[in-house]
């Protein structure tokens, strides 16, 4: 395996890689895909919340939203129950701005299935567009061909934290008078041409699931610079209620609300039982917000550690080209360090499942690199797409995986992974 350096890796660096990591895995390690940080500050807040017996959405949720918005550099942040709900509610906002049930939303064919599910849950029809193999993101050259009179929005996904080509997407959206909603579930810390991912469209949806850089265990967040969008989001997450203040005095301390019985033409209706739109039940609770607040306190430490891990792997993994490849960071961007994707090159002597099995046998936890939603996920069969329509998404669905680069890992764990991959390749005399 190490008899000669691969193309793109100098002889000196190649030899150093061998010296640093050794030629074989010496002692088996167990490297989980993800981790979670529950800080002492979070534990303190959780204790206070439990003692107060006020655990539904209240002042800590609002505090978390304010800090999250500041972190992303957005004007507004509205918390919800999951990243999928964040996508779905952001889309549902569009009904207040002219969209109709059954209208179309353009999404990449390759993503975690939540992206497609959210479009359907919001009452729209997903229109899938193939991706680029080298970026994993929507192929912007194919978007305009997918636009019809029923198209209402483009929802790019920044897969694995790799920014989508937002300049072109926004230009297309402006030309066709479409909304842009970023699926930024995996894109914490991602930057595109000097701007944070999450600030480049009309709205952006983040996941707060346990494996992400900011987590509430379960949860999601929608950010926007448009106050009217945020107002609708607050209504949508509470069944479509007419009451949608940034902070609800009834939720925070059961205080008197002078707006409560002043709704409607005669100013006599109870605003809490007026439902202006079809809504969801998708509120965050105080205990979840407490975990999120603790994560925000240490966010930049987590980001720095994960960025270092990502950059280390991007550099060292060049050794395995062209048999295995990954995404590349371009000069105009910073990839958000969510995880490390691996895609098999063509004409390999082994399959993705062969590699996954070897990694798992040697203690390296893996995840597949998702699927072509319209053609590789049976739940979407009724939409009528046929296998072969999205060749790049399907290729990655068959040949892609990803592994962790989280903050509990360092060079020792990364070198172990690299050695395991090296030993696997050696089996095939690559």
11 pLDDT tier (thresholds 50, 70, 90): very low
Return the pLDDT at 248: 57
Residue 153 forms beta bridges with which residues? 105, 179
Tell which residue, 385, 325, 400, 403, has the closest CA to residue 109.
385
Tell which residue, 34, 67, 69, 54, has the closest CA to residue 293.
67
Domain boundary assignment for the chain: 11-30+299-365+404-427, 40-296
10 pLDDT tier (thresholds 50, 70, 90): very low
Instruction: Identify the residue with better confidence: 264 or 398.
Output: 398
The secondary structure of 193-215 as a DSSP string is TTEETTSSSSEEEEE-BTTSSS-
Q: Is the pLDDT of residue 38 over 80?
A: yes
pTM: 0.91
Fold identical between 11-30+299-365+404-427 and 40-296?
no
246 pLDDT tier (thresholds 50, 70, 90): low
Return the pLDDT at 259: 67
What lies within 8 Å, CB to CB, of 283 at 6+ separation is 56, 57, 61, 79, 80, 81, 237, 238
252 alpha-carbon distance from chain centroid: 30
- The beta strands (E) that lie in 333-403 are given as 333-334, 340-344, 366-368, 371-372, 400-403
Tell which residue, 13, 7, 312, 418, has the closest CA to residue 426.
418
Contact present, 295 and 37 (Cβ < 8 Å): yes
Mean pLDDT, rounded, for 388-412: 98
Mean pLDDT, rounded, for 156-180: 98
Q: Could you read off the pLDDT of 66-117 as tens digits, one per residue? A: 999 999 999 999 999 999 999 999 999 999 999 999 999 999 999 999 999 9
Percent of the chain with pLDDT over 90: 83
Mean pLDDT, rounded, for 141-148: 98
How are beta strands 203-207 and 324-325 bridged, if at all? unpaired
361 pLDDT tier (thresholds 50, 70, 90): very high
4 pLDDT tier (thresholds 50, 70, 90): very low
As its CATH architecture, domain 11-30+299-365+404-427 has Alpha-Beta Complex (3.90)
Return the pLDDT at 260: 65
Q: Could you read off the pLDDT of 302-322 as tens digits, one per residue? A: 999 999 999 999 999 999 999
CA dihedral 42, 115, 142, 188 (to 10 degrees): 0
Angle (CA) 315-316-321 rounded to 5° is 95
Taking domain 40-296, whether its CATH number is 3.40.640.10 is answered by yes
Return the pLDDT at 274: 86
What lies within 8 Å, CB to CB, of 279 at 6+ separation is 92, 235, 236, 237, 238, 239, 240, 241
Return the pLDDT at 198: 98
N- to C-terminal Cα separation, the chain:
6
Helices (H) and strands (E) in the chain, counts: 15, 16
């Amino acid at each position: 395996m190490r008899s000669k350096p691969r193309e793109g890796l100098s002889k000196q660096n190649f030899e150093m890689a061998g010296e640093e990591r050794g030629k074989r895995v010496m002692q088996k390690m167990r490297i989980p895909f993800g981790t979670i940080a529950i800080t002492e500050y979070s534990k303190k807040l959780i204790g206070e919340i439990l003692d107060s017996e006020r655990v539904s959405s209240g002042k800590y949720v609002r505090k978390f939203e304010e800090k999250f918005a500041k972190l992303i550099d957005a004007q507004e942040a509205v918390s919800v129950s999951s990243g999928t709900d964040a996508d779905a509610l952001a889309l549902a906002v569009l009904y207040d701005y002219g969209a109709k049930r059954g209208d179309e939303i353009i999404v990449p064919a390759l993503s975690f299935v939540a992206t497609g599910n959210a479009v359907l849950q919001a009452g729209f029809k997903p229109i899938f567009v193939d991706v680029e193999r080298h970026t994993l993101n929507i192929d912007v050259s194919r978007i305009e061909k997918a636009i019809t009179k029923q198209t209402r929005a483009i929802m790019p996904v920044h897969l694995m934290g790799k920014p989508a080509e937002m300049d072109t997407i926004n230009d297309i959206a402006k030309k066709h008078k479409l909304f842009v909603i970023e699926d930024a579930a995996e894109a914490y810390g991602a930057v595109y041409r000097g701007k944070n991912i999450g600030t480049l469209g009309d709205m952006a949806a983040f996941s707060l699931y346990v494996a992400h850089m900011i987590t509430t265990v379960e949860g999601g967040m929608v950010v926007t610079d448009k106050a009217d969008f945020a107002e609708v989001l607050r209504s949508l997450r509470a069944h479509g209620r007419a009451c949608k203040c940034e902070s609800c005095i009834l939720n925070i301390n059961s205080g008197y609300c002078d707006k409560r019985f002043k709704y409607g033409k005669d100013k006599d209706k109870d605003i809490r039982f007026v439902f202006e739109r079809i809504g969801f039940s998708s509120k965050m609770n105080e205990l979840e917000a407490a975990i999120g607040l603790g994560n925000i306190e240490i966010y930049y430490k987590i980001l720095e550690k994960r960025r270092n891990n990502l950059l280390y792997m991007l550099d060292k993994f060049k050794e395995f080209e062209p048999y295995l490849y990954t995404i590349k960071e371009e000069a105009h961007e910073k990839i958000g360090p969510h995880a490390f994707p691996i895609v098999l090159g063509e004409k390999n002597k082994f399959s993705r499942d062969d590699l996954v099995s070897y990694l798992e046998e040697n203690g390296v936890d893996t995840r597949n690199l998702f699927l072509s939603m319209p053609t590789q996920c049976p739940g979407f069969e009724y939409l009528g797409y046929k296998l072969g329509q999205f060749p790049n998404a399907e290729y990655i669905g068959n040949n892609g995986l990803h592994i962790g680069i989280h903050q509990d890992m360092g060079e020792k764990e990364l070198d172990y992974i690299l050695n395991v991959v090296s030993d696997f390749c050696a089996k095939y005399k690559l």
